[in-house]
């Protein structure tokens, strides 16, 4: 076996084993990861892809992740927490070797591995080491969130796109033609999945599809690319708009995916870069790239292949699109675009989480790096040979020093804490989620919903729900051991459904530890559209910068609106105003889109009005919503109207 093969596969094996070990040592499932599992439970129970029975709200950003976990849970019958832990770990650990193999293809010629024969080239792990050395990368390898699926999708698309860029688009033999078509359509299909993996990843998948479609490949293959890349995401988009009544997941509304918080975004970026000095290995790899990619005299650069300056205008440019250099540029541009998107969005409240996929994209071209060992070429004169050896040795030595620097940084970064120990969130609103929940639950590796029962309030919530079967709205108190209860009216009117409604931020642990017939709402709006359609608070904690007042929850659940049943911090006047505001035609249309019985007519109406539903905004102060809807503000209630009649 040649030196390039040995060095590559040895690096792949080392990275896979090291990342698997590091991820397992930091294994856990986040509260947000448990949110997905509540939807999976409803799917398995036959209630549809919903979080609360009877409310068609898409609580999970990644549709693909939801259905992957549902499929493996259904086919295996294993507890969903262990399914998601296993699937996440496998995808995360597979992603780095797959990305490394994709990068290694850049140093192949069209004839395959034959160009890697000889002892003059070593393929060494680099970018993969940078990624896996970061503690957040190991944290989110098993978090139950779709980070693992996202980086696996990126790695798979990278491997396929590089292979496609090197394939002969004019094959002669029938077998080669079939393989080329299969490779092209597979690449297009995977690129099209971007919208389902995470909506913003359509920036990357869309760029790859655009390059493939514009390449000189013939109209039949273009049609095939269109169908392969577009059928599934378009079909799901039609389903999403008709079933949920929105053109995007509800999480995009709740977190205002088109919002702008640049200042917080740069704070989030520095939160990832500064603690680990991430700039150091990135700078080293940037400096090494010219030495690594420039070919020796008479050789061919790995990224250019048969590339030459285009002639003949647009057609000449199109002729150059199926090239490795174009794919490298497209993926790098996608990484830059993803980074800018999250900077504009303001990042996230979980340290490093949303920047991991953009970082992975940016590191793709240097997942492995070639170290060329200089040698005299046949036909060189003695002087020329010595000059080649001297120049090559100097370049190789510099590259080797830079690679050793990356190795040293990676070993050091794995030992860094980087973030506070989880005891406090701090002014930035960014926290090490794994450390936070490990501390709050008392479990080093909180994985199952039962582990989260030791989180404050969870045991008390279960107990109080058992004690109050007549239903009502359950609100967290200022004490961790009990909850406020606003019961349903008794005797209960016919238009008030018998239901227990929990109003709490932590949807994952709450939803997974309660029966499916208990409704769980949150003030941020991930599961409650009334909250998701409020305006974003400028000074709110990122990812939690919507704060719907509980008065609306009491009004919508039709709980008893008078004291002393009504908790003291809720204003009966606001409850009354919220009740009237819920009659606003726009709000009723929104409610109908996700809670009315689904018929074909409603499906069609949702398709037409999904964008209007998306744009709707509700003011959390009910009086302002009444004025927006041009409804009369009810007069203040009298003291007698605010209180229960005395016995």
CB-based contacts of 424: which residues, under 8 Å, 6+ apart? 431
What mean pLDDT do residues 288-317 have? 51
CB atoms within 10 A of CB 35: 28
The three-state (H, E, C) secondary structure of 47-109, written as one string: CCCCCECCECCCCCCCHHHHHHHHHHHHHHCCCHHHHHHHHHHHHHHHHHHHHHHHHHHHHCE
Task: Give residue limits of the domains in the chain.
Answer: 3-296+324-415, 454-642
The 10s digit of each residue's pLDDT in 111-122 is 334 444 444 678
User: Does residue 376 sit in helix, strand or coil?
Assistant: coil
What pLDDT sits at residue 582? 95
CB atoms within 10 A of CB 220: 9
What pLDDT sits at residue 308? 46
Pairing of strands 519-521, 483-487: unpaired
Two tokens, residue 549: 């007042």
Rounded to a whole number of angstroms, the CA Rg of the chain reads 28
What confidence tier does 492 reach under pLDDT thresholds 50, 70, 90? confident
What confidence tier does 35 reach under pLDDT thresholds 50, 70, 90? very high
Report the C-alpha gap between 275 and 134 in whole angstroms. 10
Q: Mean pLDDT: which of 111-115, 318-322, 376-380, 436-440 is highest?
A: 436-440
Tokens 């045991």 locate to 459
The 10s digit of each residue's pLDDT in 343-380 is 999 999 998 999 999 999 999 999 988 877 655 555 55
Concatenate the DSSP letters of all residues of 281-350 into one string: HHHHHHHHHHHHHSPPTTS--TTTTT-----SHHHHHHTTSSSHHHHHHHHHHHHHHHHHHHHHHT--SB
Q: Residues 368, 128: contact at Cβ < 8 Å?
A: yes
Tokens 């967290």 locate to 476
Pseudo-torsion of CA 551, 553, 554, 556, nearest 10°? Answer: 120
């Amino acid at each position: 076996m040649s030196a390039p093969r040995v060095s590559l596969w040895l690096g792949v094996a080392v990275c896979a084993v090291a990342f698997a070990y590091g991820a397992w040592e930091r294994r856990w499932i986040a509260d947000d990861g448990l949110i997905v599992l509540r939807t999976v439970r409803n799917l398995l129970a036959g209630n549809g892809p919903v979080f609360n029975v009877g409310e068609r709200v898409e609580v999970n950003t990644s549709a693909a992740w939801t259905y992957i976990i549902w499929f493996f849970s259904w086919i295996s019958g294993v507890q969903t927490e262990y399914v998601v832990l296993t699937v996440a770990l496998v995808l995360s650990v597979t992603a780095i070797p797959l990305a490394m193999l994709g990068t290694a293809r850049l140093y192949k010629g069209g004839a395959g591995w034959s160009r890697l024969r000889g002892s003059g080239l070593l393929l060494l792990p680099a970018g993969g080491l940078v990624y896996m050395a970061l503690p957040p990368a190991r944290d989110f390898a098993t978090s139950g969130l779709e980070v693992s699926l996202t980086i696996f999708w990126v790695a798979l698309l990278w491997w396929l796109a590089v292979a496609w860029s090197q394939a002969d688009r004019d094959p002669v033999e029938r077998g080669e033609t079939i393989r080329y078509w299969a490779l092209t359509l597979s690449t297009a299909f995977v690129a099209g999945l971007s919208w389902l993996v995470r909506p913003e990843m359509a920036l990357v998948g869309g760029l790859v599809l655009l390059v493939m479609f514009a390449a000189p490949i013939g109209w039949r293959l273009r049609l095939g690319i269109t169908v392969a890349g577009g059928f599934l995401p378009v079909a799901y988009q039609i389903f999403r708009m008709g079933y949920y009544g929105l053109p995007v997941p509800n999480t995009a509304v709740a977190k205002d995916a088109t919002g702008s918080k640049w200042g917080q975004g740069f704070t989030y970026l520095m939160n990832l870069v500064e603690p680990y000095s991430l700039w150091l290995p990135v700078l080293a790899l940037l400096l090494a790239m010219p030495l690594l990619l420039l070919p020796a005299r008479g050789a061919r650069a790995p990224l250019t292949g048969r590339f030459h300056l285009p002639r003949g205008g647009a057609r000449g440019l199109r002729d150059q699109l199926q090239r490795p250099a174009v794919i490298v540029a497209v993926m790098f541009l996608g990484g830059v675009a993803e980074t800018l998107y999250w900077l504009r969005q303001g990042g996230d409240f979980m340290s490093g989480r949303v920047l991991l996929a953009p970082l992975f994209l940016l590191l793709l071209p240097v997942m492995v790096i070639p170290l060329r060992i200089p040698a005299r070429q046949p036909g060189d004169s003695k002087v020329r040979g010595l000059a080649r050896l001297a120049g090559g040795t100097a370049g190789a030595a510099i590259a080797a020093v830079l690679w050793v620097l990356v190795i040293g940084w990676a070993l050091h970064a794995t030992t860094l804490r980087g973030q506070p120990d989880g005891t406090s969130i701090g002014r930035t609103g960014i926290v090490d989620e794994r450390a936070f929940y490990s501390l709050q639950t008392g479990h080093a590796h909180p994985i199952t919903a039962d582990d989260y029962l030791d989180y404050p309030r969870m045991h008390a919530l279960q107990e109080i729900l058992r004690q109050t079967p007549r239903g009502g709205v359950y609100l967290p108190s200022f004490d961790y051991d009990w909850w406020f209860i606003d019961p349903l009216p008794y005797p209960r009117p016919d238009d008030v459904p018998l239901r227990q409604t929990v109003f709490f931020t932590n949807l994952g642990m709450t939803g997974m530890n309660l029966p499916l017939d208990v409704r769980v709402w949150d003030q941020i709006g991930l599961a409650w559209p009334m909250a998701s359609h409020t305006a974003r608070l400028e000074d709110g904690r990122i990812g939690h910068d919507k704060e719907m007042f509980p008065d609306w929850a009491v009004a919508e659940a039709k709980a008893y609106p008078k004291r002393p049943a009504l908790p003291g911090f809720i204003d009966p006047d606001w409850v009354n105003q919220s009740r009237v505001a819920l009659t606003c035609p726009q709000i009723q249309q929104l409610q109908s889109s996700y809670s009315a019985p689904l018929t074909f007519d409603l499906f069609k109406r949702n398709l037409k009005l999904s964008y209007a539903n998306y744009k709707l905004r509700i003011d959390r102060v009910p009086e302002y919503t009444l004025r927006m809807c041009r409804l009369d503000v009810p007069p203040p209630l009298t003291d007698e109207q605010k209180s229960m009649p005395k016995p």
